[in-house]
A and B are shown apart, each in its own frame.
With several copies, the nearest count.
Chain A
Amino acid sequence: MSRNGVTADEVMAVEAARRLRDGTVCFVGIGLPSIAANLARHTHAPECVLIYESGTIGAKPAELPLSIGDGELAETADAVVPVPELFAYWLQGRRMDVAFLGAAQIDRHGNLNSTVIGDYGAPRVRLPGAGGAPESALSARDVFVMLRHSQRAFVERLDFTSSVGENVRVVITDLGILEPRDGELTLVALHPGVAVEEPIAATGWPLKVADDLRETPPPTDAELTVLRGLRTKGQDDSRH
């Protein structure tokens, strides 16, 4: 899906990158979060610190990694620490400013499900599981969620709560931006060319819309140039 020649992934990556300040310490996974953090590092936030679950602190990959354990992350990192140390000293030690999370489902409180669709004991779809999400959601100062908007994903009730939403500051979707207002995720911005009815229709609960609903500024040519330069170095499909 593309509007004005800009894909949904590109809008999401740019919106996420813009929220990272220079020096922000980010706990990133593979895919869009990694793209966004590297975009920030190559534009306005050169000192943005990237930490991957594999223990690489301050990774500076020239090409986008395909997995959180890519060799280039270790080679370019300031330090590579054992995984138990990463979770104990660096995540639980509250050294992470921002953690990016994705999920299969989100509810209006920012709680996430990445565990099962259906009943835990007899699931319809067994998902990979929570991985680093539960403690990222608790110990990072700010949690940024990146997730495509759909009724399947934005649900009234999670099938399973893998991580809690108390630190979720923003949800970046392919249609717009949600932020918690009075304890409930509220649509605060629409991406260029998106009508307000689209995210409302793609949300499984009655989505609140902010009075001051704004439009996200479109990706600039400079942002797109850097972003596409990054992307072409990796592969097309780099989900995690």
Chain B
Amino acid sequence: MAEIVPLGEAIARLVHDGDAVALEGFTHLIPHAAGHELIRQGRRDLTLIRMTPDVVYDQLIGMGCAEKLVFSWGGNPGVGSLHRFRDAVENGWPAPLELEEHSHAGMAAAYAAGAANLPFGVLRGYRGGDLPARTRVATITCPFTGEELAAVPAQRPDVGIVHAQQADRHGNVQLWGITGVQKETVLASTRAIATVEEVVDELEPRPGAVVLPGWVLDAVSPAPFGAHPSYAHGYYERDNDFYVAWDAISRDRDRFQSWMERHVLGTGDVTQYRASLAQEAAAA
């Protein structure tokens, strides 16, 4: 049964240096507040897992939290490069970043295998390109037809972190809109944290919703606006301007560091983070 606890406490208790951590979200409901808390608490040597690492992973990488990245597409959607990710891969700054690179289909199959407690996932993929020589993929033969397919090792993160719209007071969590690979992330992980926009008395069933019973989660932490600059369907829109602005902020090491110091290290939670951004915008 999930306990409803402050985010700082959830991260302190459940995420340790050296853990493999997946903060998932497919454009929607990206757990930024949880990522910021990892940075504030100075986690190190993390293996970061995500299909589509974007700004929050750029921040974690740039702040030296990550030792390895397992991913399938690492960019700033609609904008371009992730400069901190590139700087780590191209120049080893602030530290070298080991890569385990997959395709989306491979990552999705690996998460699904993890959720299903299987050691590998099977797919028609990874054929013909250069990626197989650079990643963990194997050939598996169908015992009935003799056909050869690709096998990927299951993703089994130490900690899975997702952001959702709502939890009830028992820690049951509901997310809706684009739900991506979040259910699989929670079920594949040894420990799981959900941050939520709000805690409500009762979860109203919604079309297309994913419900995560409280008993598959270790902690539920309120984090209103905790997906910003990503969005929460029904709560707030994507801050497209922020993604564009991030390109310039992240391009320069010093500017990146002072931005992180001011808005993340210099704040204690998502409310203060938003106030800090608002203050900067008002001064501009």
Contacts and interface: CB of A to CB of B under 8 A. Distances in A.
In the complex they form, whether A and B have CB atoms below 8 Å apart is answered with: yes
Interface of A: 23, 25, 30, 47, 49, 53-58, 66-71, 73-74, 78-80, 82-84, 86-89, 91-95, 111, 115, 120, 123-135, 138-139, 160-164, 166, 235, 237-240
B116 A74 contact: no
A232 B221 CA distance: 40
Contact of A69 (B79, B178, B183, B237): B178
Nearest to B181: A83
B178 A126 contact: no
Nearest to B124: A92
Contacts of A74: 28, 177-178, 208, 233
B178 A135 contact: no
Contacts of A89: 115-116, 183-184, 187
A83 B213 contact: no
B201 interface: no
Interface of B: 1, 26-28, 51-52, 71-75, 77-82, 85-86, 89-90, 101, 103-106, 108-109, 111-112, 115-118, 123-131, 134, 170, 172, 177-181, 183-184, 187, 208, 210-211, 213, 215-216, 231, 233, 237-238, 240, 244
B113 to A, nearest CB: 9
B108 A88 contact: yes
Contacts of B180: 54-55, 69, 82-83
A133 B27 CA distance: 18
B7 to A, nearest CB: 23
Contacts, number: 205
Given A162-B130, A237-B244, 9 more contacts: A47-B170, A89-B183, A92-B105, A93-B187, A123-B89, A128-B82, A129-B75, A131-B103, A135-B124
Nearest to A71: B233
Given A87-B105, A134-B126, A82 B179 contact: yes
B4 to A, nearest CB: 15
A69 B105 contact: no
A70 B27 contact: yes
Contacts of A138: 124-125, 127-128
Nearest to A238: B78
26 contacts: A54-B28, A54-B178, A56-B178, A67-B77, A69-B77, A71-B28, A71-B238, A80-B177, A80-B208, A82-B183, A83-B181, A84-B181, A88-B116, A89-B116, A92-B117, A93-B116, A120-B130, A125-B86, A126-B86, A127-B81, A130-B73, A131-B52, A134-B106, A134-B125, A161-B128, A164-B129
Contacts of A135: 103-106, 123-125
B80 A239 contact: yes
Contacts of A86: 108
